[in-house]
Amino acid sequence: MSDSENRCGALVWSPFPDMGSASTAANVLLDEKLVACANMIPQMVSIFGWKGEREQSSETGALFKTNAALLGKAIERIGELHPYEEPAILGWRCDEGAPATLAWLEELEQ
Amino acid sequence: MSDSENRCGALVWSPFPDMGSASTAANVLLDEKLVACANMIPQMVSIFGWKGEREQSSETGALFKTNAALLGKAIERIGELHPYEEPAILGWRCDEGAPATLAWLEELEQ
Amino acid sequence: MSDSENRCGALVWSPFPDMGSASTAANVLLDEKLVACANMIPQMVSIFGWKGEREQSSETGALFKTNAALLGKAIERIGELHPYEEPAILGWRCDEGAPATLAWLEELEQ
């Protein structure tokens, strides 16, 4: 990744079973400076296919802010902290961000 | 798209008028193996410009997980299933994902 | 940015302290044709690190739809309108969108 790509922010989306488990994971990720923030959305309804079955459940959506250089590590750690055996975790680099936001996310690596 | 780009996950965002219509569309998309999961967020407030008018409505946000190779088809099918005449549907490829998530999304094509 | 990249949609994510401030900002952005729509998610729980402290607050998540050519301007203007001194604002280009959605977002520049 080029230097400028490395500097851009990144977001990670992962549904959790509830607010408690999402908050617990968020606090560890913040302690370990892998994310700067977690926005958690309660009362989400999820419908998904899993091992050939259709399932529906109430979940808490967690959207984590990190920077592009830490994206892979953050995803890996979320996987370790997540209560599901095989959680859904997807991350993407952001093309632009407010200057203060990018500086804040860069501080994660200092 | 290169092979590796094709393998990455993708997300599609589309607001629906309510949970019922979002769930109905989600189940068809799952039946047709165009998405692996739908996360639906109720009680969203939307403000938008439409044909010169300002409008505000309560909506359900739907975030669908698919893979990059199916992104176009999934968007097209969501458009067909959506109750709005011209629904807002935007999709983006994800740069990274947990290995189990990518494998799960790849199964959509088997 | 190439012509086709310019034509694609874009999304901006920014948490606000409450629905009121998010709606006020959304209406100004719509007046100034910098976004076509704001989806606002109430009762979000945020945990974040700020100036060395861990903080938790209830926020309203705002997801704005714009087009790639306006992404930078929209982010800048959200920063000016946002009640926080240093709000978190991240934006990304979308790889695909429903044709009617892309046309609707392109109208922002007419």
Give me the residues of chain C with pLDDT under 50, please. none
Handedness of CA B59, C6, C68, A10 (dihedral sign): positive
CA B43 to chain centre: 18
Distance CA C11, CA A108 (A): 24
What is the ipTM metric for this complex? 0.95
Per-residue pLDDT tens for A23-62?
A: 999 999 999 999 999 999 999 999 999 888 999 999 999 9
Neighbours of C29 (CB within 10 A): 25
Domain boundaries, chain C: 3-109
Is B11 within 8 Å of A92 when comparing Cβ atoms?
Answer: yes
Share of chain A above pLDDT 70, in %: 95
Separation between Cα atoms, residue A94 and residue A9, nearest integer Å: 5
Contact C93 B92 (CB under 8 A): yes
A3 band by pLDDT with thresholds 50, 70 and 90: low
Pairing of strands A9-16, A53-67: antiparallel
CA atoms of C29 and C79, how far apart (whole Å)? 11
Q: Output the 3-class SS for C62-83.
A: EEEEEEHHHHHHHHHHHHHHCC
Measured in angstroms, the CA of A94 and the nearest CA of chain B are apart by 10
Q: Which CATH number fits domain A11-97: 3.30.70.120, 3.30.559.10, 3.30.360.10, 3.30.70.260?
A: 3.30.70.120
User: Looking at chain A, which subunits does it touch, using at least 3 CB pairs closer than 8 Å as the criterion?
Assistant: B, C
Mutate to test the interface with C, among A43, A63, A71, A107 (most CBs of C within 10 A): A63
Pick the more confident residue, A110 or C58.
Answer: C58
**Which comes out higher in pLDDT, residue A51 or A17?**
A17
Q: Which positions of chain B have pLDDT values less than 70?
A: 1-6
Helices C19-31 and C71-81, packing angle to 10 deg: 130
The mean pLDDT of chain A is 94
Residue B93 structure tokens: 């490829």
Sign of CA dihedral B109, C4, C8, C14: positive
**Where are the alpha helices (H) located in chain B, listed in sequence order?**
3-7, 19-31, 71-81, 99-106
Between chains, do B41 and A44 touch, taking CB under 8 Å as contact?
yes
Give how far A5 is from chain B: nearest CA, Å. 12
| Residue C91 to residue A94, Cβ atoms within 8 A | yes
Q: Where is pLDDT greater, at B76 or A4?
A: B76
Q: What is the DSSP letter of A30?
A: H
* pLDDT score, position B10: 98
Q: Give the per-residue pLDDT at C1.
A: 54
Higher pLDDT, A9 or C4: A9
CATH number of B3-109: 3.30.70.120
